[in-house]
Structure 1
Amino acid sequence: MNIETIPRVLIVEDEPETAELARRTLLRAGYAPHLSGSVDRAKQMLRDGGFAALVLDYHLPDGSAWDVVEVANAADPRVPVVLVTAMGSESVAAEAIARGVTQYLRKSDSFREDVTGAVGRAIGLARMQAALQHDSALLRLIADNANDIIILLDAEETILYASGAAERVLGYPPSDLLGQALSALIHPTGAQEAEGRAPARARRLLRCRTRDGRYVLLEPTFRPVRQAATARTIGVLRDVTDQLQFEERLNHQQRMETIGQLTAGIAHDFNNLLQAMMGSLELLIDEVRDRPEMRECAEGALRMGERGARLTHHLLAFARKQVLKPRALTLPELVGDIVHTLRRTLGPQISIPIDIQEDAPQVYADPGQLEAAMLNLALNARDAMPKGGTLRIAVCQAGPLVLNPLEDPTRRRYVVLSVSDTGTGMSPETLAKACDPFFTTKGPKGSGLGLSMVHGFARQSGGDMRVLSRIGEGTRVEIWLPVAEQAVAEPQEPPPVTGRGAGRVLLVDDESEVLVTLGSFLRGTGFTVDTVGTGDEALTRLASVPDIDVLVTDYAMPGLDGPELVAQARQLRPDLPVLVVSGYAEAERLASLEPETRVMRKPFRRKALVQQVAALIDGRAAAPPPVRAPRPDAGAGNVDAGS
């Protein structure tokens, strides 16, 4: 046996015979006994340490055994004490227990066996206690460092133990919670309110007030246990406040995405209806020029159609499906022009100070949509200040913006355009719904699409919108726009049409009413028009009619849709000018079209269509004919140079 593993036992006995008997007995039992005949020497040996047990005679001539016990406990409280006495009494036994003596042994004829057993039991018990203390300390360390609050309750739900997380989550030291009822921490309506948040999952939550006055939501788990014969309950309280807030934001985002997809689909169908209706009205106006009353009615209906077109435009902006024409913008210049208009529009009762960082970098956005967004915010501010007030417009550069809590912060730079008012402000409940589509506080006169449109525009532009508001303090809306990394050329508008058009147009649309009106627009201005209702028919016509000058196609069609038709048509006729018209466009797929492909959004007026088609034909005529490889079925001299 390794001597370092042999338990050392200190025997404090003034009778030599008894001390020697104990020494030999313990030595044969596998211990390493050490003798001391005096109290002072025993104290010094105990202070030096290293003993696994102490065998102590009660009657010592040079001092009290209790003094030795005191030193032993001070030196190492884990060392068990076996008290040996020739004349025992209940009072001595009671005091021994009170002083932490482990074993109490009377000298008798069986002392040899008794002392071996007592030392063995004492050391075994000490080891068990040390192991329990280690496990207890380990469990306490784990419990105190767990993120969840761990509590122990009695049958009356009084807190008997609370882990360290109580202070991190609630702000209360665990000692402050001992003896308190669990119900004292819970808001009176906390459980009912929490259950109402997720009735489908029947998730029980406790709404608790923290020490600094905040409220947190705790998800409890309780398990009944028995401590000896006493009923107890172990509870684990998990702070799910941030988790629920994140889930609510994520669910809200998913709802908005679903509504956006539905809205975009409705807008597409509605735009097709408006295109057919407004086109028919324009043609009707031509027929009733000499009948003022009929023409006035038709023009009024056309104006209503344009209002409907603006509504669908707002819907597409909310759904982030509108076709944007972004370019590099200098905000100070744009804001200055808009403020000039707003001062005339809003009147003298509203002052409009501006705070612009003149060296703010250019932003990348659609100027028309940005002006519409600012006008929308200004009108909202005016409605919030019926007696007048201040509308402040500011521009400044900002740092990175976290657009998605699941992603790392983007490293793009942003410029913030803010519009602030001194109006009535919004309550937290109203603010939470402010960007929801069709939510309005203006009654019948509000569409509920204003802020949702601005928000959709900002997100589609690669930025975001933030709204800050308090009742009685006003509202500030921030539009975050990405900095333009490089200058982008402004798209050139087609020149106005002079005289009548000339050229052959292949017109493709699956809506027969739209096909009729657009065909009439073009024929009425001098173009030759071939109309087909599907992409496959269009390819067949292109292959059989070589003198088609322009392809005008709808975007969304069953079967072969607009982008696929354009791709296959370009394989047949690489130099063919193309105009894509759409009531609803997926920005990603439109971006994949070749740059020379023009796009128009339905509904549009006759003049706009004629201008685009004429510009495409004029541009093709001015360009030199490209050299192309022959088609696989063509002879060596049969090269398609276009018309």
Structure 2
Amino acid sequence: MTLHRLLARQLKQFLSGTFTFQAFMDAVNQAYQAADQDRNMLERSLELSSQELLHANSEMRAMVQAFPDIFFLLRSDGTILACKGGNLTDFYLPSRRLIGKRIQDIPMGQVGEQFADAIQSIQTGKPLVSLEYVLEESDQATWYEARLVPECEGQILVIVRNISERKRSEDRFRRLLEAAPDAMVIADSAGQVVLVNSQAERLFGYERKDVLGQPVEVLVPERFRHGHAFNRRDYSRNPRVRGMRAGLDLYGLRKDGTEFPVEVSLSPLETDEGVFTMSAIRDITDRKQAELTLRESEERFRQLAENIQQVFWMTTPDKNTMLYISPAYEAIWGRTRASLYASPRDWLDAIHPEDRGRVLHAALTKQETGEYHEEYRIIRPDGSVRWIEDRAFPIREASGTIYRLIGIADDITEQKQLAEQFRQSQKMETVGQLAGGIAHDFNNMLTVIIGQSMLLLSKHDLQRAHRNKVEQIKETGERAAALTKQLLTFSRRQVLQPIVLDLNRVISHAEQLVRRLLGEDIILQTILQPNLGPIKVDPGQLDQVILNLAINARDAMLQGGSLTIETANMVLEQADADRPLDVLPGSYVMLAVSDTGCGMDAETKARIFEPFFTTKERGKGTGLGLSIVYGVVKQNGGFIQLSSTLNQGSTFKIYLPMTQDRMAVSAGHPQLEPLLKGTETILLVEDQDDVRAFTETVLEEYGYTVLVARDGSEARGLSDTYEGVIHLLVTDVVMPGESGPKVAEQLACDRPDIKLLYISGYTEENIIRHGVLDHAVTLLEKPYTPTVLAREVRKVLDSFPLRSSHANI
């Protein structure tokens, strides 16, 4: 038998000393006292534990009673063993009547079946089963959520919670989702779709039932799914609100397999089941198309702005910042765009000082109203001047505030030059018409003056004193005739008889005459290009051009100098800057006459080709020399350029078109002068009485029968009544009423063999075609002498009939 530990301890202490009975009793007594003390301590400890346990149970009971959830403890078959908390009347029965009933048998509509299925799932080993159900009473629905958890000994713990408020919140949330303009997709923490709105259905082409529970990547194109899953997991680790971000190329995938660009915003949703992700998805196909259209439009605009010849510019309203300037600026202004971006004032500094103030004032006052339209000159870094046409327009915001100024600047230098050429041409044409008209009238008078003088001089019985006076009259008339001929040359109304020439040969023949004109103090140098192309001009006119240019150069070098005559073949292309705008491209022969004389200022150069304009002293020049050169060059289809600097000399460059015609071959023997008299009948038509009388007298003296008419009507009457042959019609070209060519055409119908000789103070387009005499027409220019008249009449009468000439008139 084992001794009590207290008794063993006391006996051990007693037996270790001297043994007495009393000592033995004391030891036993102490052992009992120690045992009593241990029992008392144990009883006190048990008493305290029981109280704490009762208190804890009381607190637990209070918490369960206060908790809104309902707790059921079930047997494995569903029989209710206990129920606490919540409002047990939600089960239609008081709590005391629920004990002992199977939860699936409580009359709650179809809910029992749900509980039966849930209990069966627990019995199969599931650790947790949840179900939701609704109870309706008095037309009010209440939603519950039940969770079933297995306990020991086959029992089941059921926790039932009223989730009506949550359901109402979820309903409000769903309505908000449905009202959202974007597609809304909510995925759980595992990336499974738990909710979509109708916009998402329409956007992706899925029904809700097809996409719920599916991985959200089903809405993403295959090539992006791996990256999307990685980004989704990264977002789940650090959920935060992320707005729609531009610049990311995101795409959605429809059920039919089509892709479309999207923008996506993300928001985390805290739920009982973890953090869900709500995605707002916006189809940006239209915007992408608009952006593409805008980019294409901007690209077209860029290509237009960077390839047009005009300068497109854009600035802020205060003109302090140049926002854009097109590349044409560098070509026109001769400055870099970078310099203008760096210093916008360079635009103003480049404007000609005479125009700068006006343009600056217009820019500050008119550009914001859209009325700015200025023409001004700019000075390029190389010193050349260009004319600019500049327009500007304001760009306004919706509020009407101007936030940009845009403009177009165009180089109109060529237009200005063309306008000046046209103005000069019009002026010269007007002066030429005036000169031609004057020359025509003068020639009529001079025909009589010179002709009658020569008739008087042919009289052998004329007294010497009278003869001298008549000689003076004739010589004065001839000088006047030479002057009118110059006027006709300037007005390009002189009759031309062009032939194919070698300009080098013409210059060589004229060289000695030019040297005599220049004098000993001026050095003449010729630089003639070999194999010069042929030209077709009137040789007399060409000599006149060379001599007039030489005389003009001589008069500019009063202190001596040098004169250079140069020839060259030239090919003018479409883009050549030297080619005037009214001259066709092609092959030309260039004649350049340069001097080292006094040169000219701009005002003189502007008027140098005007008739009667001269810088010489009164009485030392007619002012027709260079105007004759101008007229000859223009009449032969060429053009003339002048470059001159004051006190440095001048250069005249004449360009005459090359011809494909062959060089003329001169006859080997001179022609004998034919006999001038005749007996044929001539019909003379002239509206000027004195010219008609003089011509009639001359023709009669040479033996001809002359029928005289003052106009076309009289001429037709004489032709109709005259029974004999009319061999020759001599008619003025320009007459009141019917012209000479018209009269000739009418008479040729009745008298097809009649020959024709025109007389005129100047030519008209119906006889001169492009300034060149028609080879089928003979024209006698006024003033003419009796001998010249007789020679031309005889030459026409002795020629073959030219019926075609009447048709060509």
TM-score, structure 1 normalization: 0.73
> After the TM superposition, which of the residue ranges 507-516 and 492-501 deviates more from structure 2?
492-501
From 294, 307, 312, the equivalent of 1:150 is 312
Partner of 2:743: 565
Query: 391, 396, 404: which is aligned to 1:221?
Result: 391
The residue number in structure 2 matching 1:476 is: 652
Q: Which moved more, 1:134-143 or 1:385-394?
A: 134-143
1:263 corresponds to which residue? 435
Whether 2:366 is the aligned partner of 1:186: answer no
Structure 1 residue identity aligned to 2:351 = I
1:529 to 661, 683, 706: 706
Aligned to 1:89: none
User: Is 1:426 paired with 2:588?
Assistant: no
CA contact (8 A) 2:758 2:780 kept: yes
Deviates more, 1:326-335 or 1:278-287: 278-287
Separation of aligned partners in 1, 2:424 and 2:284? 66
- Which runs of structure 2 are paired with 1:288-303 in the superposition (5 Å)? 290-303=462-475
CA contact (8 A) 1:435 1:451 kept: yes
Contact 1:423/1:475 (<8 A) preserved = no
What CA distance in whole angstroms lies between the structure 2 residues aligned with 1:478 and 1:162?
A: 44
Alignment of 1:220-259 (within 5 A): 220-227=390-397, 231-239=402-410, 240-259=412-431
Name the counterpart of 1:4.
none
Alignment of 1:325 onto 2:325: no
The residue number in structure 2 matching 1:512 is 689
User: Which amino acid in structure 2 is aligned with residue 438 of structure 1?
Assistant: F
Instruction: Give the equivalent residue in structure 1 for 2:536.
Output: 364
- Partner Cα separation in structure 2 for residue 487 and residue 549 of structure 1: 36
| Cα distance in 2, alignment partners of residues 553 and 433 from structure 1 | 39
RMSD: 4.9
Matches of 2:285 and 2:477, distance apart in 1: 97
TM-aligned CA distance change 1:482 to 1:315, over 3 Å:
farther
What is residue 92 of structure 1 aligned with on the other side? none
- 1:95 maps to what in 2? none
Alpha-carbon displacement from aligned partner over 1:585-613 (angstroms, at most 9, x marks no partner): 12552469984643211012222112223
Tell me which of 554, 560, 563 is aligned to 2:732. 554
Offset of residue 112 of structure 1: 10
- When residues 183 and 389 of structure 1 are mapped into structure 2, their CA distance, relative to the original with a 3 A threshold, is closer
Instruction: Check whether the contact 1:384–1:423 (CA below 8 A) recurs between aligned residues.
Output: yes
Relative to structure 1, is the Cα distance of residues 626 and 440 closer, same or farther in structure 2, using a 3 angstrom cutoff?
Answer: closer
Matched, 1:416 2:590: yes
Whole-Å separation in 1 of the counterparts to 2:802 and 2:249: 102
In structure 2, do the counterparts of structure 1 residues 80 and 55 end up closer, same or farther at CA, with 3 Å as the change threshold?
farther
Q: 1:525 to 1:144 in 2, by over 3 A?
A: closer
The residue that corresponds to 1:354 in the other structure is 526
* Aligned sequence identity (%): 29
Amino acid at match of 1:457: V
Q: Distance in 2 between matches of 1:436 and 1:596?
A: 34
Q: 2:627 aligns with which of 427, 449, 452?
A: 452
Work out whether 1:603 is the aligned partner of 2:603: no
Deviates more, 1:107-116 or 1:232-241: 107-116
Is residue 8–residue 50 contact of structure 1 (8 Å, CA) maintained in 2? no
CA contact (8 A) 1:394 1:418 kept: yes
Of structures 1 and 2, the one with the larger relative CO (CA 8 A, separation 6+) is 1
Helix, strand or coil: the match of 1:247?
helix
Output the TM-score relative to the length of structure 2.
Answer: 0.60
Offset at 1:524? 3.8
Aligned to 2:6: none
2:636 paired with 1:461: yes
Q: Secondary structure at the match of 1:399?
A: strand
Preserved contact between residue 600 and residue 644 of structure 2 (Cα < 8 Å): yes
Q: Which runs of 5+ in 1 are unaligned?
A: 1-6, 37-44, 82-100, 196-200, 628-643
- 317-326 or 214-223, which deviates more: 214-223
SS at match of 1:531: strand
**Closer, same or farther in 2 for the Cα pair 1:218/1:372, shift >3 Å?**
closer
Offset from partner CA, 1:60-115 (integer Å, 9 cap, x none):
47xx999x99xx99xx933489xxxxxxxxxxxxxxxxxxx996856457999993
Q: Which residue of 1 aligns with 2:35?
A: none
Alpha-carbon distance in 1 for matches of 2:225, 2:437: 87
- Conservation of the 8 A alpha-carbon contact between 1:162 and 1:177: no
1:166 matched residue in structure 2? 329
CA contact (8 A) 2:595 2:651 kept: yes
Which residue identity lines up with residue 154 of structure 1 in the other structure?
Answer: T
Q: Which amino acid aligns with 1:367?
A: P
Contact 1:191–1:204 (Cα < 8 Å) also in 2: no
C-alpha deviation, 1:336, in angstroms: 2.3
Q: Residues 423 and 160 from structure 1, CA distance in 2 versus in 1: closer, same or farther, beyond 3 angstroms? A: closer
1:432 CA displacement: 3.8
2: CA distance, partners of 1:128 / 1:598: 76
* Aligned amino acid, residue 390 of structure 1: S
Query: Helix, strand or coil for the counterpart of 1:320?
Result: coil
Partner of 1:77: 247
Deviations 1:205-258 (A, max 9, x none): 233344555443333333333347653342212313333333333343344334
> Does the CA contact (< 8 Å) of 1:535 and 1:562 recur in 2?
yes
What are the superposed Cα offsets for residues 120-157 of structure 1, whole Å, 9 maximum, x if unpaired? 39999888877766665665555444544333333422
Structure 1 position 375 matched with structure 2 position 547 = yes
Deviations 1:566-588 (A, max 9, x none): 33334444443432111011255
Instruction: Classify 1:454/1:571 alpha carbon distance in 2 versus 1 (closer, same or farther; 3 Å).
Output: same
Indicate the residue corresponding to 1:393 in structure 2: 565
Opposite residue 550 of structure 1, the aligned amino acid is L
Task: Quote how far apart the aligned CAs of 1:510 are.
Answer: 0.4
> What is the CA-CA distance between 1:511 and the residue it aligns to?
0.3
Task: Tell me by how many angstroms 1:481 deviates.
Answer: 4.7
What residue identity is the alignment partner of 2:321?
I
C-alpha contact 1:462 1:482 (8 A) present in aligned 2: no
Q: Distance in 1 between matches of 2:545 and 2:795?
A: 31
Q: Is the 8 A contact 1:80 1:123 kept in 2?
A: no
Distance 2:573 2:693 in 1: 49
Is this contact kept in 1: 2:373–2:390, CA < 8 A?
A: no
- Alignment partners' CA distance in 1, 2:746 and 2:234: 108
**Count of residues in correspondence between the two structures:** 573
Report the Cα distance in structure 2 between the residues aligned to 1:150 and 1:115, rounded to whole angstroms.
49
